Chain A
Amino acid sequence: MLKNVHFGPSVLPFLLVFPQIVVTLVFFIWPASQALYQSLLLEDAFGLKTEFVWFKNFEELIHDPLYWSSFEITVVFSFLVAFLSMSFALVLAIFADRVIKGSGAYRTLLIWPYAVAPVTAGALWVFMFNPTLGIISYALSALGYEWNHQLNGGEAMALVVMASAWKQVAYNFLFFLAGLQSIPKSLIEAAAIDGAGPLRRTFDIILPLLSPTTFFLLVINIVYAFFETFGVIHVVTAGGPAGATNILVYKVFNDGFVGLDLGGSAAQSVILMIIVIGLTVIQFKYVEKRVAY
């Protein structure tokens, strides 16, 4: 029989959770509630007059074609980033899993990009692709292709996707590698005896067994592309040219701090908040169900 042990009232547990509660309150609850409140206000650019307008900011957003185009751009951008970084990481992880000699050094090197700050990563790619100075744009022009992401929206998108995906490859690689290593070796051997070659084993056995990891990473990558790529965008394109890379998070900043439309910007961040909450719910619901292997 289990015995319940009751402890007397004590301040210790409260003291122990206190720092965490303070951090959550100051850095999450307070700004979030401020954003919620702000999203219902209309304020002039000089902060002289503030008006409570209920959901007018949201109404305006819904009828704003620029907002929807930014939404579209975000979806395309995050899909490309997630797809590119995950597929690249998976290929690298499959190779790294087979490396026997020097695997430690190899893995460490692959993890490095994760330690690079987004702004630095962006700066790195901007230098390489700079239309006049960049080494890659120089190589491209030698091949007869004139690269200019400052003018061409498609190229700008390609560049921010590459820079953002590159940074995330390391993270995905780590998870895929751990996932691969948790697949029992005997399963692969059984498949080999069943006559499956390396490629067939990858598609029939390894990928299905990795699906919980893949799903988890998909959500993480989408969240990353939605929110954490601000630094990359800011350095590489600043949302341009002509809003071609103006993803939602960047638009929040642009409208709020550059355009000084504080209410509209707050309304946008509330919508983003709802999206991230939704993604997290999906994540918890499905990941818990599917991690059964």
Chain B
Amino acid sequence: MARVVLEGIRKTYPNGFKAIHGVDVAIEEGEFLVLVGPSGCGKSTLLRMIAGLESITEGRLSIGDRDVNNLEPSERNIAMVFQNYALYPHMSVYKNMAYGLKIMGLPKAEIEERVKKAATILELTDEQLIRKPRQLSGGQRQRVAMGRAIVREPSVFLFDEPLSNLDAKLRVQMRLEIKTLQANLGITSIYVTHDQVEAMTLGHRLMVLNAGNVEQLGTPIELYQRPESLFVAGFIGSPAMNFAEARIDAAGKTITISGQEALPLGDGGMAEHGGKDVILGVRPEHLELVAGAPDAVPMTVTMVEQLGADTLVHGHFGESKSDLTVRLEGIRHIKGGEVLPIRVSPDHLHVFDPKTERRLS
């Protein structure tokens, strides 16, 4: 267990491409930090820099109060789970897990004890331990890859999209297992994923990366409730947040989507941004279908998706071009072309500056 501290970490490739533009974060002992972002945002690069598989161009990286910038991966006391598991195909499961310990020079008895212990935690049977990785299913391989990480008893776990090769059902199951395992072992973990559901469910804190920049760092709920930028607002949450161009009135009390009724702004308004053109964001789950309410806005339905537990209604406000998604609970019988009265809850409005794309208010 160790604290991992990143100070001003930057990465520039020899060809001049800047992959990471300065990351500062202190990951506490036993914390589960998720690096999340679209592909190419630099999240894997950052993880590989922590692992020591990529060099650090600038900045300081310390693991457990030890500067590790110039240490080999094996000297950093870390363990990594790879996307394709990276199990040694010519070794049995047992040997895969024991390989690192053998190199450490541990006595045979202790290697066996540690491997057996990890196998028990991961529910790998003795019969599976003598098999070759190719004879195992995807989920089992995933377990072996984690077993190989556990036996090293590292101070930090690094996960590089470990679930992306599994089918949807297994992914949910392994997600829970990883969460439980991390909570039980209490080992500091850094986890890379592009899947925001995985990120939200696993992480104590999330770091959203976009094109090598940290967009926001916070707990899943903070990111959901108060996204600091347009990017985070659009990235976190499924289905994604609705955005529309809007204008705040001079007094800062109401906000108007072009050509629609004015909506009241909650929390005493935004007087300091009076008269400004903004981007308004509302999550699909914060739009309600309310018949006969005076502040309801008519929405023209174009498409309906039935999920069983929810119904997703796609359409737009009146003549507005901006697409709109509404998430309604339960099964609703709505057809394309219908006009629904939709109420926007004033407590759940997100207002962003169209130029800086940062959150206002």
- Contacts from A to B (Cβ < 8 Å): 184, 186-187, 189-196, 200, 204-205, 208-209, 211, 292-293
Contact = CB atoms under 8 A, between A and B. Distances in A.
Contacts of A200: 103
Contacts of A191: 88, 99
A209 B91 CA distance: 10
B89 interface: yes
Nearest to A188: B86
A189 B90 contact: no
Q: Which 8 A-B pairs have the closest CB atoms?
A: A194-B100, A195-B74, A186-B86, A190-B86, A195-B103, A208-B90, A186-B82, A193-B73
Contacts of A292: 89, 134
B51 interface: yes
B123 to A, nearest CB: 22
Contacts of A187: 86, 88
Nearest to B134: A292
Contacts of B86: 184, 186-187, 189-190
Contacts of A184: 84, 86
B53 A189 contact: yes
Contact of A193 (B51, B84, B88, B90): B51
5 contacts: A191-B99, A194-B103, A195-B74, A204-B99, A293-B89
B68 to A, nearest CB: 13
A15 B80 CA distance: 59
Given A187-B88, A191-B99, 16 more contacts: A186-B83, A186-B84, A189-B73, A189-B82, A190-B80, A190-B82, A191-B88, A192-B72, A193-B51, A193-B80, A194-B74, A194-B100, A204-B99, A209-B89, A209-B90, A293-B90
Nearest to A200: B103
A191 B79 CA distance: 11
B104 interface: yes
Interface in B104-138: 104, 134
Nearest to A194: B100
A195 B80 contact: no
Interface in B46-86: 51-53, 72-74, 78-80, 82-84, 86
Nearest to A211: B90
Instruction: Give the contact-size bracket for chain B.
Output: 20 to 34
Contacts of B72: 192
Contacts of B83: 186
A194 B74 CA distance: 6
A237 to B, nearest CB: 42
Contacts of A196: 74, 99, 103
Q: Is the interface of A mostly helix, strand, loop or mixed?
A: helix
Contact of B53 (A192, A195, A211): A192
A193 B74 contact: yes
A213 to B, nearest CB: 13
A191 B88 CA distance: 9
B53 A194 contact: no
A95 B47 CA distance: 28
A1 B82 CA distance: 39
Contacts of A195: 74, 100, 103-104
Nearest to A192: B73
Nearest to B103: A195
A125 B87 CA distance: 46
Nearest to A189: B53
B54 to A, nearest CB: 10
A192 B89 contact: no
A30 to B, nearest CB: 46
A193 B78 contact: yes
Contacts of A211: 90
Contacts of B103: 194-196, 200
B74 A192 contact: yes
A209 B88 CA distance: 9
A277 B86 CA distance: 39
A248 B343 CA distance: 94
A18 B79 CA distance: 61
Contacts of B90: 208-209, 211, 293
Nearest to B83: A186
A190 to B, nearest CB: 4
A200 B103 CA distance: 9
A120 B84 CA distance: 48
B102 to A, nearest CB: 9
A194 B78 contact: no
A292 B83 CA distance: 21
User: Which of A189, A200, A211 counts the most B-chain CB atoms under 10 A from its CB?
Assistant: A189
B293 to A, nearest CB: 56
A205 B87 CA distance: 11
A172 B90 CA distance: 23
Nearest to A183: B89
Contacts of B52: 193
Max chain B Cβ within 10 angstroms of own Cβ: one of A190, A195, A204: A190
Nearest to B75: A195
A194 B82 contact: no
Nearest to A293: B89
Interface string B20-46: 000000000000000000000000000
Looking at A187, A193, A196, A211, the one whose CB has the most chain B CB atoms below 10 A away is: A193
Contacts of B78: 193
Contact of B79 (A193, A204, A209): A193
A189 B84 CA distance: 12
